[in-house]
A = this chain, B = another copy of it.
Amino acid sequence: MTSALTWNRYGKSSIRLVKVRRAADPHDIIDLTIDVALEGAFDRVYTDGDNSGCLATDTMKNTVYAFAKVEPLDHVESFAVKLAEHFSEKPGVSLVRIDVDEHPWTRLHPHAFARTGEEVRTTLVTYKDDTPSVVSGLRGLVVLKTTDSAFSGFPRDQFTTLRDTRDRILATSITAAWTYADGFEDFAQRTAVRAAIVETFAAHKSESVQQTLYAMGEAALTSCSGVVDVQLSLPNRHHLLVDLSPFGLDNPNEIFVATDQPYGLIEARISRK
């Protein structure tokens, strides 16, 4: 044969990890996306289909979650070094890369956080029959609460497998749009409406996304008498608890996978009577 393997690297990319530190009060969260990659003497995997030396990338992922439970994660750098040391001891490995993106959150409340920087402020004017209608709003305000969110008591049919929970992470990207009464012009009220929406998200004892949405809408109406209705759209960005029991570890609502797909989507309009 006239060809040769002259370089190789493999691993698991985009491992999404959210850790909630509940021992502390207020809670802390760490939100990471991690790539693990190994270089080394893996030639027979490529040339002979011999997997006996090929650590599965699924195992790399599991290792990251198990280490996240045990390590303090005070500095991402130290956590990455620990992971790298672990993988460097595997047979054949000559180089380990641990590549981490940390997504920073700003505290809103002892148990709630925001990624405010992705937020866009929206304005929609429609003009018809010589009259403008003004809708102000926001989009992309990502918020998360580490507790005070439940979902239970829902109906069960032949396709239901979800279990009741009394304590889960609730995360969403808020889209809100509120309509001002005709002739209203105190557009600086945007700030008060936004604050009411965000503070209600943070403080609400949630039985469902729907109930929290409704409370957010009511708070928006209360915050500004010039608002006649508010429409909210809340995608439920599911955070799934990782099962660490195969590794002899418990997971009391600490280690989660943040997922993009699928997502619940809850939308409603709340109007002043």
Nearest chain B CB to A90's CB is how many angstroms away?
A: 8
Assembly CA distance A259 to B240 (angstroms): 15
- Interface members, chain A 225-243 (any B CB < 8 Å): 229, 231, 235-236
Binds B, one of A21-29, A61-69, A166-174, A195-203: A61-69
Closest to A185 in B: B78
Asked whether, in the complex, the Cβ of B273 is within 8 Å of the Cβ of A2, the reply is yes
**Interface residue SS majority, chain A:** mixed
Closest to A54 in B: B154
Asked whether, in the complex, the Cβ of B217 is within 8 Å of the Cβ of A3, the reply is yes
Asked whether, in the complex, the Cβ of A10 is within 8 Å of the Cβ of B265, the reply is yes
A53 at the interface (CB under 8 A from B): yes
* Residue among B11, B56, B221, B235 making CB contact with A3, cutoff 8 Å: B221
A107 at the interface (CB under 8 A from B): no
Asked whether, in the complex, the Cβ of B6 is within 8 Å of the Cβ of A271, the reply is yes
Mask: chain A, 229-269; 1 = CB below 8 Å from B; 0 = not: 10100011000000000110000000000011111111111
Assembly CA distance A15 to B272 (angstroms): 34
* Residue among B66, B119, B128 making CB contact with A159, cutoff 8 Å: B66
Closest to A235 in B: B13
Asked whether, in the complex, the Cβ of B118 is within 8 Å of the Cβ of A117, the reply is yes
Mask: chain A, 181-215; 1 = CB below 8 Å from B; 0 = not: 00001011000000000000000001111110110
Q: Which residues of B contact A161 (CB under 8 A)?
A: 58-59, 62, 246
* Residue among B47, B98, B160, B211 making CB contact with A45, cutoff 8 Å: B211
Nearest chain B CB to A11's CB is how many angstroms away?
A: 6
Q: Which residues of B contact A264 (CB under 8 A)?
A: 10-13, 57
Closest to A158 in B: B247
Counting chain A residues whose Cβ lies within 8 A of the other chain, the interface size class is 35 or more
Assembly CA distance A6 to B213 (angstroms): 13
Asked whether, in the complex, the Cβ of A56 is within 8 Å of the Cβ of B102, the reply is no
Asked whether, in the complex, the Cβ of B261 is within 8 Å of the Cβ of A260, the reply is yes
Nearest chain B CB to A87's CB is how many angstroms away?
A: 8
Asked whether, in the complex, the Cβ of B125 is within 8 Å of the Cβ of A84, the reply is yes
Q: Which residues of B contact A263 (CB under 8 A)?
A: 12-14
Closest to A78 in B: B187
Asked whether, in the complex, the Cβ of B62 is within 8 Å of the Cβ of A160, the reply is yes
Asked whether, in the complex, the Cβ of B159 is within 8 Å of the Cβ of A59, the reply is yes
Assembly CA distance A128 to B1 (angstroms): 31
Q: Which residues of B contact A84 (CB under 8 A)?
A: 125-127, 132
Asked whether, in the complex, the Cβ of A80 is within 8 Å of the Cβ of B123, the reply is yes
Q: Which residues of B contact A7 (CB under 8 A)?
A: 231, 268-269
A176 at the interface (CB under 8 A from B): no
